[in-house]
Structures are given as C-alpha cells and as structure tokens.
Amino acid sequence: MLTTNPVLITLSTLGIVAGGFFIAASEFVIVTRIWLAMSLDRTLPSWFGNVNPRTHTPVGPVILSMVISVVAAYLFDYWPPFYSVITVGSVMGPAAVVFVTSIAAILFPKRRREIYEQAPVARYKPLGIPLIVLIGLASALASFSVDAMYLGAPELGYNAPVPVAFTFGILLLGFLLYYVNYAYQKAKGVDITIAFKQLPPD
C-alpha cells in the first residue's frame, strides 16, 4: 500500500496468497485434531475420532469441516452482518481462550501443587511469587483488555445483534452440549470428567 515498486508489490502479494493457503490448511488440521481429541475424551461422539485406515486421517470430520467452512464463506460474502461475526470473532475467540488458559496458569500452583513443584519453572519465584502466576496475570490482563475493547467500542462493529448472538450463542451451545453429553455418558457409567483430573505426562 505504501510502495509503487512492482517487485515489492509482487512479493507481498504472493506472501499474502501463500499465507491464506497456510491459514486455511492449518485451520482444517487444528479443528479436526481438536474433534479427534474430544472424541477420545468422550465429549464428542466416536465418529469424530474415526481415522481412515488408508489415508490415516479423519476423513469424515475433514469433510464436515469443509462443509461448515463453505457455508461460512457464503455467509461472509453474501450476508453483510456475518462479516462482523468472522472478523470480530477471530479476535474475541482466541483472546477468550488465552484468558481461560491464563486463569488456569494462575491457579495451577495451588490446584496441582504436586505436579507444579516437579516442574523446572517452580524454581523461579520473583518477589516470592511463582513465575507462572505472574505470566498468567499479565496474559489474563492483556487478553481481557482485548475482549473488553471489542465489547466496549461500538465503532468496531461487535455490539451488533448478529455478532453477539453468534459468538455467545456458540459458547452457550458448547456448554449445553457438554452437560447433555456428560449426563448421557454418566447414565452409561462413564465419568468423562476423569479425563480432565490429571495432566498427561509430557
């Protein structure tokens, strides 16, 4: 945007195109990997964890992810209110995930003291405060500030009904599906919360 040099324009354009392909591919990988992990934890049906023996990939979930992406792309192009859902949600969602993870980091030394004390990071305690707690506080403040900015600045377009309904509707739907599945699995004698009681050895 700031240059008329054809070489720089060409290089930057190719970089944007390449980055677009990378982001699209990585999103498919990330989503289907999360679905597969959730199926192993019994928080999603086992279908999401089915791996094709020939391709060694979860073909069904990949196709489902593609269908959802096509529908979202159509809405993005032809339904203007959905534009804010995508653009704002792409910031709100990840920032909220970072915020929740930051809270987990803050609580980790207290909630899982025996695991924390065996970790190398336990040696670092500036001002007598665990380093992981300080980093968690800084991260939580930064991510909360980003979400608060989007919620409190109408000029960014988030305070419209459609983005709010989509973002928080998906969040509430996730909670609802989890607890419905929890009750279903509990009735079968399976406690899915056990999967989250202990960090895996890594």
In the chain, domain spans: 1-78, 80-202
pLDDT in the model for residue 198: 66
The predicted model scores a pTM of 0.66
The whole-number average pLDDT for the span 118-128 is 88
Of the two residues 117 and 24, the one the predictor is more confident about is 117
Of 89-93, 178-182, 187-191, the poorest mean pLDDT is in 89-93
Long-range contact list for 116-125, CB < 8 A, 24+ apart?
none
Of the two residues 24 and 103, the one the predictor is more confident about is 103
- Gap between the Cα atoms of 163 and 38, Å rounded: 26
The whole-number average pLDDT for the span 30-57 is 88
| Residues ≥6 apart with Cβ < 8 Å to 168 | none
pLDDT in the model for residue 75: 86
- Gap between the Cα atoms of 112 and 120, Å rounded: 15
- Gap between the Cα atoms of 148 and 125, Å rounded: 30
Mean pLDDT score of the chain: 85
Determine which helix (DSSP H) or strand (DSSP E) holds 151, and give its type and residue range: helix 131-152
The whole-number average pLDDT for the span 19-24 is 81
pLDDT in the model for residue 140: 95
pLDDT range class, residue 180, cuts 50, 70, 90: very high
- Gap between the Cα atoms of 166 and 147, Å rounded: 15
pLDDT in the model for residue 187: 92
pLDDT tens-digit series, residues 61-112: 989 988 988 898 888 888 877 777 776 666 777 888 899 999 999 999 998 8
Nearest residue to 103 via CA among 140, 134, 141, 146: 140
The whole-number average pLDDT for the span 172-199 is 85
CB atoms within 10 A of CB 115: 14
pLDDT in the model for residue 141: 95
For the chain, the residue count is 202
Instruction: Identify whether the C-beta of residue 98 lies closer than 8 Å to the C-beta of residue 138.
Output: no
Of the two residues 155 and 143, the one the predictor is more confident about is 143
pLDDT tens-digit series, residues 71-80: 988 888 888 7
